[in-house]
Amino acid sequence: MHKVAVRRLPARPRKRSKSHLSATHFARAATVGDAADVALILAQFADEGQLLPRTLAEIEAAISDFVVIVDGNDRVLGCAALTEYSPSVAEVGAVAVSRAAQGRGLGSLAVRGVEAMARRRGIPELFAMSRATQFFESLGYAATSLDRFPEKVARYEALAAQGIPVTPKSCFTKRLG
Protein backbone atom coordinates (compact mmCIF):
# COMPACT_ATOMS: atom_id res chain seq x y z
CA MET A 1 0.00 0.00 0.00
CA HIS A 2 1.37 3.41 -0.95
CA LYS A 3 2.07 5.63 2.04
CA VAL A 4 2.57 9.38 2.07
CA ALA A 5 6.22 10.19 2.58
CA VAL A 6 5.60 11.88 5.88
CA ARG A 7 7.46 11.03 9.02
CA ARG A 8 5.65 8.65 11.26
CA LEU A 9 4.82 11.12 13.98
CA PRO A 10 3.70 9.92 17.37
CA ALA A 11 0.94 11.95 18.90
CA ARG A 12 2.20 14.64 21.23
CA PRO A 13 2.42 13.82 24.92
CA ARG A 14 -0.84 14.66 26.62
CA LYS A 15 -1.27 16.91 29.58
CA ARG A 16 -4.10 14.80 30.88
CA SER A 17 -4.17 11.08 31.39
CA LYS A 18 -5.59 9.64 28.17
CA SER A 19 -5.25 6.31 26.49
CA HIS A 20 -2.54 6.34 23.86
CA LEU A 21 -3.39 5.89 20.20
CA SER A 22 -0.03 7.28 19.19
CA ALA A 23 2.53 4.65 18.23
CA THR A 24 0.28 2.62 15.95
CA HIS A 25 -1.36 5.54 14.15
CA PHE A 26 0.01 7.35 11.14
CA ALA A 27 -0.83 9.46 8.09
CA ARG A 28 -0.86 7.93 4.63
CA ALA A 29 -2.10 8.95 1.19
CA ALA A 30 -5.78 8.15 0.78
CA THR A 31 -6.89 5.69 -1.89
CA VAL A 32 -10.26 5.32 -3.60
CA GLY A 33 -10.94 2.44 -1.21
CA ASP A 34 -10.87 4.94 1.67
CA ALA A 35 -13.44 7.29 0.12
CA ALA A 36 -16.51 5.79 1.82
CA ASP A 37 -14.84 5.91 5.25
CA VAL A 38 -13.78 9.52 4.65
CA ALA A 39 -17.32 10.41 3.57
CA LEU A 40 -18.76 8.93 6.77
CA ILE A 41 -16.33 10.83 8.99
CA LEU A 42 -16.90 14.15 7.19
CA ALA A 43 -20.69 13.79 7.05
CA GLN A 44 -21.27 13.99 10.79
CA PHE A 45 -19.41 17.29 11.03
CA ALA A 46 -20.91 18.70 7.83
CA ASP A 47 -24.35 18.05 9.32
CA GLU A 48 -23.31 20.24 12.27
CA GLY A 49 -21.99 23.00 9.97
CA GLN A 50 -18.38 22.58 11.04
CA LEU A 51 -17.32 21.37 7.58
CA LEU A 52 -18.65 22.02 4.09
CA PRO A 53 -20.65 19.06 2.75
CA ARG A 54 -18.87 16.75 0.26
CA THR A 55 -20.48 13.95 -1.70
CA LEU A 56 -18.85 10.54 -2.08
CA ALA A 57 -18.30 11.33 -5.78
CA GLU A 58 -16.53 14.59 -4.90
CA ILE A 59 -14.32 12.79 -2.39
CA GLU A 60 -13.47 10.05 -4.90
CA ALA A 61 -12.62 12.63 -7.57
CA ALA A 62 -10.26 14.45 -5.18
CA ILE A 63 -8.92 11.40 -3.35
CA SER A 64 -5.30 12.08 -4.38
CA ASP A 65 -5.52 15.31 -2.35
CA PHE A 66 -6.57 13.50 0.84
CA VAL A 67 -4.49 12.15 3.69
CA VAL A 68 -6.03 9.61 6.07
CA ILE A 69 -5.05 8.71 9.60
CA VAL A 70 -5.16 4.97 10.17
CA ASP A 71 -4.59 2.62 13.06
CA GLY A 72 -2.52 -0.57 13.06
CA ASN A 73 -5.37 -2.40 11.32
CA ASP A 74 -5.56 0.27 8.58
CA ARG A 75 -8.88 1.50 9.98
CA VAL A 76 -9.53 5.10 8.94
CA LEU A 77 -10.03 7.37 11.98
CA GLY A 78 -9.36 10.79 10.49
CA CYS A 79 -8.60 12.75 7.37
CA ALA A 80 -7.60 16.09 5.88
CA ALA A 81 -7.41 17.42 2.33
CA LEU A 82 -5.42 19.88 0.29
CA THR A 83 -7.35 22.13 -2.11
CA GLU A 84 -5.23 24.04 -4.61
CA TYR A 85 -6.76 27.24 -5.98
CA SER A 86 -3.62 28.43 -7.78
CA PRO A 87 0.12 27.63 -7.68
CA SER A 88 0.49 29.85 -4.63
CA VAL A 89 -2.89 29.53 -2.88
CA ALA A 90 -3.99 26.31 -1.23
CA GLU A 91 -6.26 25.34 1.65
CA VAL A 92 -6.01 22.63 4.26
CA GLY A 93 -9.58 21.54 4.88
CA ALA A 94 -11.86 18.59 5.53
CA VAL A 95 -9.90 18.06 8.73
CA ALA A 96 -11.84 15.61 10.87
CA VAL A 97 -11.30 12.85 13.41
CA SER A 98 -13.90 10.30 14.51
CA ARG A 99 -15.34 11.42 17.81
CA ALA A 100 -14.10 8.43 19.78
CA ALA A 101 -10.52 9.09 18.61
CA GLN A 102 -10.41 12.86 19.22
CA GLY A 103 -8.08 14.54 21.68
CA ARG A 104 -5.12 12.25 21.06
CA GLY A 105 -3.16 14.14 18.44
CA LEU A 106 -4.68 12.53 15.33
CA GLY A 107 -6.09 15.79 13.94
CA SER A 108 -2.62 17.30 14.25
CA LEU A 109 -1.16 14.31 12.39
CA ALA A 110 -3.67 14.84 9.57
CA VAL A 111 -2.83 18.53 9.16
CA ARG A 112 0.90 17.77 9.21
CA GLY A 113 0.32 15.12 6.55
CA VAL A 114 -1.34 17.70 4.29
CA GLU A 115 1.47 20.17 4.99
CA ALA A 116 3.99 17.53 3.85
CA MET A 117 1.95 16.97 0.69
CA ALA A 118 1.86 20.75 0.05
CA ARG A 119 5.63 21.06 0.50
CA ARG A 120 6.22 18.28 -2.03
CA ARG A 121 4.01 20.18 -4.49
CA GLY A 122 5.99 23.39 -3.92
CA ILE A 123 3.16 25.27 -2.24
CA PRO A 124 4.59 28.07 -0.05
CA GLU A 125 1.58 28.86 2.15
CA LEU A 126 -1.62 27.23 3.38
CA PHE A 127 -4.81 28.73 4.70
CA ALA A 128 -7.63 27.13 6.70
CA MET A 129 -11.22 28.08 7.52
CA SER A 130 -12.32 26.88 10.94
CA ARG A 131 -13.90 27.60 14.28
CA ALA A 132 -11.23 25.43 15.95
CA THR A 133 -8.97 28.39 16.73
CA GLN A 134 -6.88 26.69 19.39
CA PHE A 135 -6.35 23.65 17.15
CA PHE A 136 -4.89 25.63 14.25
CA GLU A 137 -2.92 27.97 16.52
CA SER A 138 -1.33 24.94 18.19
CA LEU A 139 -0.10 23.92 14.73
CA GLY A 140 1.52 27.29 14.02
CA TYR A 141 -1.31 28.96 12.08
CA ALA A 142 -2.16 32.63 12.65
CA ALA A 143 -5.45 34.43 12.17
CA THR A 144 -5.71 36.47 9.00
CA SER A 145 -8.35 38.11 6.81
CA LEU A 146 -10.38 35.98 4.41
CA ASP A 147 -10.06 38.89 1.95
CA ARG A 148 -6.53 37.64 1.25
CA PHE A 149 -8.04 34.61 -0.49
CA PRO A 150 -10.59 35.86 -3.06
CA GLU A 151 -10.75 32.35 -4.56
CA LYS A 152 -12.27 31.10 -1.29
CA VAL A 153 -14.66 34.07 -1.10
CA ALA A 154 -15.84 33.18 -4.61
CA ARG A 155 -16.36 29.53 -3.58
CA TYR A 156 -18.47 30.61 -0.59
CA GLU A 157 -20.52 32.86 -2.86
CA ALA A 158 -21.07 29.97 -5.29
CA LEU A 159 -22.23 27.70 -2.44
CA ALA A 160 -24.57 30.38 -1.10
CA ALA A 161 -26.04 30.79 -4.60
CA GLN A 162 -26.78 27.02 -4.58
CA GLY A 163 -28.56 27.41 -1.23
CA ILE A 164 -25.82 25.59 0.70
CA PRO A 165 -25.49 27.25 4.11
CA VAL A 166 -21.99 28.46 5.00
CA THR A 167 -21.32 28.85 8.72
CA PRO A 168 -19.12 31.82 9.67
CA LYS A 169 -15.56 30.70 10.37
CA SER A 170 -12.21 32.32 11.02
CA CYS A 171 -9.37 32.30 8.51
CA PHE A 172 -5.90 31.07 9.46
CA THR A 173 -2.67 30.92 7.53
CA LYS A 174 0.77 29.38 7.80
CA ARG A 175 3.90 29.74 5.68
CA LEU A 176 5.50 26.38 5.05
CA GLY A 177 9.21 26.24 5.83
Query: Closer CB to ligand COA, residue 132 or residue 146?
Result: 132
| Dihedral (Cα; 108, 61, 169, 145), 10-degree rounding | 90
Smallest distance from the beta carbon of 125 to ligand COA, in angstroms?
A: 17
Query: Closer CB to ligand COA, residue 2 or residue 149?
Result: 149
Q: Do 23 and 52 contact (CB within 8 A), yes or no?
A: no
**Residue at shortest CB range from ligand COA:** 107
Query: Closer CB to ligand COA, residue 104 or residue 174?
Result: 104
DSSP for 42-87, please give it: HHHHHHTTSS----HHHHHHTGGGEEEEE-TT--EEEEEEEEEEET
- How does DSSP classify residue 100? G
Smallest distance from the beta carbon of 45 to ligand COA, in angstroms?
A: 4
Smallest distance from the beta carbon of 96 to ligand COA, in angstroms?
A: 4
Smallest distance from the beta carbon of 149 to ligand COA, in angstroms?
A: 14
Q: From CA 111, how far away is CA 140, in angstroms rounded?
A: 11
What does the binding site for ligand COA look like in residue numbers (CB under 6 A)?
A: 15, 45, 50-51, 93, 95-97, 102-108, 130, 132, 134-135, 138
Query: Closer CB to ligand COA, residue 2 or residue 48?
Result: 48
Q: Do 126 and 173 contact (CB within 8 A), yes or no?
A: yes
